[in-house]
Chains A and B, each alone.
Chain A
Amino acid sequence: MNKNRRALPRVNSKYARYRLRTAFSGIHRFGVYALEDIPAGRMVIEYTGKRMSWAKASRVPFEKSIYIANLKRGYTVDGRIGGSGAEYINHSCEPNLKAKRTAGHLFYCSRRKIRLGEELTIDYNYSIKLRRIPCRCGARNCRKTFMVEFAK
């Protein structure tokens, strides 16, 4: 096998309740697909990884923070380290999975019946409301924006 080509990531079957596999996706790079029918309202896979506090996760550089998911009570889980394969599930605005957070664990459950060969998707729930505060400093090279932050 070509050494430079990275192997396709695998789903760890220990954390998956149904048969799943990863493959190339039309949405973005890799995706996770169901290899059998999944009824509605079942736990499908657990999102595993390194657990760390919210304050610690905020210090992770941006390029390394894409697999960080929120748990309850100010904790996060980083799927980059010891991930079960759930971190490869893509975003969709009409997802077929939803996140369920129980004490220290993050599970993905099916929202509706998922058919064989369908791609698993979840709503990442990123905040897309922005607040821009204008700058009025009056300098010649003024950037016009003082601060951009996510609105609550």
Chain B
Amino acid sequence: MKSRPSCGPIRHTSAPYGLRIGRSPIHGYGVFACEDIPSGRQVIEYTGRRLSPNQAFLLKPPHDDYVIHHGKGPVINGSVGGSGAEYINHGCNPNLTWRRRRGRLFFYSVRRIPADQELTACFSHPTEAQAVPCACGARKCRKILRYIVS
């Protein structure tokens, strides 16, 4: 688990544009742009401790809140040595996209981001659950065998 962030500017070598951490209307804290960011630019790198898939499996909540699984390669735990990118919130119409380069993970802008707008990225978590009915016919049947989460 990570302690509360301090609201203020992000100082990180991988953040060429002015960014700051602040209270977000979406959830908890968020990352905001301090200046206009053009479309298609590198905005910030997602840094942190690198974990093998097995190590990431052993992390129990809430310690896996900032763990990011993205495609092949190492898993990044942003709660240790994070650049501030771990505070970026989810948005269904995001203004950031992922790109993985040489095992490093970068956020790029997908459109122009005006100053003081919150940065959002799409975290592809499962959002739907489909129930499989149970046909066992027992007296105390639970009616649902399992959920398929997708």
Contacts and interface: CB of A to CB of B under 8 A. Distances in A.
Interface residues of B, number: 33
B127 A143 contact: yes
A140 B126 contact: no
Interface in A122-152: 124, 126-128, 130, 132, 135-143, 145-150
Interface of A, helix, strand, loop or mixed by DSSP:
loop
Centre residue among B126, B136, B146 by max chain A CB count within 10 A:
B136
B149 A93 contact: no
B27 A94 contact: no
A146 B142 contact: no
Given A27-B137, A53-B54, A145-B128, A91 B90 contact: no
Nearest to A54: B57
Interface in B13-46: 25-27
Interface residues of A, number: 37
Contacts of A26: 135, 137
A91 B140 CA distance: 13
Contacts of B1: none
Interface in A28-74: 28, 53-55, 58-59, 62, 74
A124 B92 contact: no
Nearest to B27: A136
Contacts of A22: none
Contacts of B57: 54-55, 58, 74
Interface of B: 25-27, 53-54, 57, 89-93, 120, 123, 125-129, 134-142, 144-149
Given A126-B145, A148-B125, A148-B127, 5 more contacts: A27-B135, A91-B134, A132-B129, A136-B26, A138-B25
14 contacts: A27-B135, A28-B135, A127-B147, A137-B92, A138-B26, A139-B92, A143-B127, A146-B125, A146-B127, A148-B125, A148-B129, A148-B149, A149-B126, A149-B149
